[in-house]
């Protein structure tokens, strides 16, 4: 990835209107998400969070199978742990960025290591975002929001706002009528 692509990813094409309205943008329903982590707990929790948001989720436990699956399935977004058995997340990230089949896929690195050097290498090798473990739904949603704003994922259409309309007064039953009806039923 050259310097211009890095800055495009870093700065992105933000949607100020959505941010001003306080909405968190989501990717389209059915967006294919790929979770790569050797922890069954992280795979289960992240998979459930993404599934509840309407995304299709696939999982892998190591770097080698992550590369194979990414090439075969072409997911829309990859959540990739740094510490993996076999190939670590940095090696997987490099391999995916150098392969024409996968270089366009957004990748969010995840790690429990709090060191800034790790975040530096993640950015240097071309990751789109970094989430520290432990994380929650809010951090995952923010990462997806940033990728949507940057144009790396397609945005889900906003749910239409249904205006509240006044009910004509003649259809509203006055309190006294309801009370007398209930009283009559009790007798």
Q: Tell me, yes or no, if the pTM score tops 0.85.
A: no
pLDDT digits (tens, 9 = 90+) for 5-17: 433 443 444 333 3
- Measured between alpha carbons, how far is residue 11 from residues 3, 29, 80, 151 in Å? 12, 25, 21, 11
pLDDT digits (tens, 9 = 90+) for 18-31: 343 457 899 999 99
Cis peptide before 134 (omega within 30 of 0): yes
Contacts of 25 (CB under 8 A, 6+ apart): 15, 18, 144, 145, 148, 149, 155, 156
Query: Is residue 182 exposed (0-12), middle (13-18) or buried (19+ Cβ within 10 Å)?
Result: exposed
Please report the domains of the chain, with CATH numbers, ordered by start residue.
Answer: 3-149 (3.40.50.2300)
């Amino acid at each position: 990835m050259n310097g211009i692509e890095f800055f495009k990813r870093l700065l992105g094409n933000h949607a100020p209107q959505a941010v001003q309205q306080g909405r968190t943008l989501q990717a389209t329903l059915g967006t294919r998400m790929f979770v790569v982590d050797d922890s069954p707990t992280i795979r289960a929790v992240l998979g459930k969070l993404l599934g509840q948001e309407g995304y299709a989720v696939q999982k892998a436990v190591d770097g080698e199978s992550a590369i194979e699956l990414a090439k075969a399935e072409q997911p829309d977004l990859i959540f990739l742990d740094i510490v993996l058995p076999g190939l670590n997340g940095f090696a997987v990230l490099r391999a995916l960025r150098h392969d024409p089949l996968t270089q366009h896929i957004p990748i969010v690195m995840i790690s429990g290591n709090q060191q800034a050097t790790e975040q530096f290498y993640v950015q240097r090798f071309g990751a789109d975002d970094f989430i520290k473990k432990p994380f929650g739904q809010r951090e995952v949603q923010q990462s997806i929001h940033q990728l949507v704003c940057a144009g790396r994922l397609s945005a889900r259409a906003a749910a239409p706002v249904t205006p509240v309309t006044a009910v004509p007064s003649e259809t509203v039953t006055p309190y006294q009528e309801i009370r007398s009806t209930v009283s009559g039923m009790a007798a």
